[in-house]
């Protein structure tokens, strides 16, 4: 019985390590769909709003457990990784400046549903940008 528990424990630790340490494929995540409009997804959200990438970038960079995966404000498109507090699940958010609009695509990497986490995060960022 001890061996079974030990094997299960090691499997859980290995899975959690993979979630935290798996390489990020920049080519896969640093892109946007052809069309981005206001759309709630099962594993994320898409938004098109008026705004400035530099202003939103400052807000996003202040988000805990968030870092830039690729891009820059100067390039006009940035992809961020935000990790969940407990298990470190990565969510990817790509933001691009399109004229006076920002197009945003936030999505999860693992699973099918993010339980509204990406939507809530993006809405919080956009509210902070409007207030700023």
Global model pTM greater than 0.85: yes
Question: Is residue 46 assigned to a domain?
Answer: yes
Residue 39: name the closest of 89, 105, 112 by CA: 105
Question: Is residue 13 assigned to a domain?
Answer: no
Count of CB atoms situated within 10 Å of the CB of 19:
16
Question: Is residue 109 assigned to a domain?
Answer: yes
Question: Is residue 18 assigned to a domain?
Answer: no
Question: Is residue 66 assigned to a domain?
Answer: yes
- In which domain, by residue range, is 63 found? 25-131
Dump pLDDT digits (tens) for 83-127. 998 889 999 999 999 999 999 999 999 989 999 999 999 999 999
**How far apart (Å, rounded) are the C-alpha atoms in residues 113 and 97?**
27
Question: Is residue 10 assigned to a domain?
Answer: no
Dump pLDDT digits (tens) for 36-80. 889 999 999 999 999 999 999 999 999 999 999 999 999 999 999
Q: Residue 69 is inside which H or E element, if any?
A: strand 66-72
Q: Are 7 and 71 in contact (CB under 8 A)?
A: no
CATH number for the domain that contains residue 51:
3.30.310
Question: Is residue 94 assigned to a domain?
Answer: yes
pLDDT(19) > 90: no
User: Which residues is 96 bridged to in the sheet?
Assistant: 77, 103
| Neighbour-count burial of 16, counting CB atoms closer than 10 A to its CB (0-12 exposed, 13-18 middle, 19+ buried) | middle
Q: Are 128 and 59 in contact (CB under 8 A)?
A: yes
**How far apart (Å, rounded) are the C-alpha atoms in residues 30 and 78?**
7
Indicate the number of domains in the chain.
1
């Amino acid at each position: 019985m001890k061996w079974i528990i030990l094997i299960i424990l090691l499997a859980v630790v290995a899975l959690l390590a993979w979630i935290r340490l798996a390489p990020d494929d920049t080519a896969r995540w640093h892109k946007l769909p052809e069309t981005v409009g206001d759309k709630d997804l099962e594993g994320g959200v898409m938004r098109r709003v008026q705004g400035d990438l530099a202003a939103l970038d400052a807000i996003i960079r202040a988000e805990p457990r968030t870092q830039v995966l690729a891009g820059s404000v100067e390039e006009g498109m940035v992809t961020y990784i935000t990790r969940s507090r407990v298990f470190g699940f990565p969510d990817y958010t790509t933001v691009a400046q399109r004229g006076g609009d920002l197009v945003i695509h936030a999505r999860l990497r693992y699973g099918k549903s993010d339980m509204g986490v990406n939507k809530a995060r993006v809405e919080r960022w956009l509210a902070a940008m409007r207030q700023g």
